[in-house]
Structure 1
């Protein structure tokens, strides 16, 4: 697994894309799935384009991290 430190920078990009989807009117129930989809897409396109199991695993991790970062930031802003 050749996961570089700067690959973690994809997580805030996923957060930004999910926020964009939210602002264009996507329902809040779909946002976690969109986060996972963006994570898996980034894994397959950027992280491991020739190793699909690794790409899916890393993509799910990035999508869940982005979803948690987005949710945590939202909860912090509301309090």
Structure 2
């Protein structure tokens, strides 16, 4: 995984935010984040190694959902 591949995490966050704006139930957003992470890991980062793609995708999806939840908490506390 290269430093340029980490850019997928904010991309996942942005897509999940768009889905939230269009009415996606909040309880599904972490699962969608994981799904996008795994798909990105398999297709973009490790297309030749499915296991590594799944592992990295899970890491990216969990990071994206954690960053989303953590950022939301900080924003709510400052308002």
Smaller-chain TM-score range?
A: over 0.9
Q: 1:42 aligned to 2:40?
A: yes
Specify the alignment match of 1:72 in structure 2: 70
Specify the alignment match of 1:31 in structure 2: 29
TM-score, reference length from structure 2:
0.95
Alignment gaps of 5+ in structure 2:
none
SS in 2 for 1:26: coil
RMSD: 0.5
Alpha-carbon deviation of 1:6? Answer: 1.1
TM-score, reference length from structure 1:
0.95
Write the distance in 2 (CA, Å) between the matches of 1:21 and 1:49: 26
Alpha-carbon deviation of 1:50? Answer: 1.5
Alignment gaps of 5+ in structure 1:
none
Write the distance in 1 (CA, Å) between the matches of 2:60 and 2:69: 14
Aligned residues: 77
Write the distance in 2 (CA, Å) between the matches of 1:45 and 1:19: 22
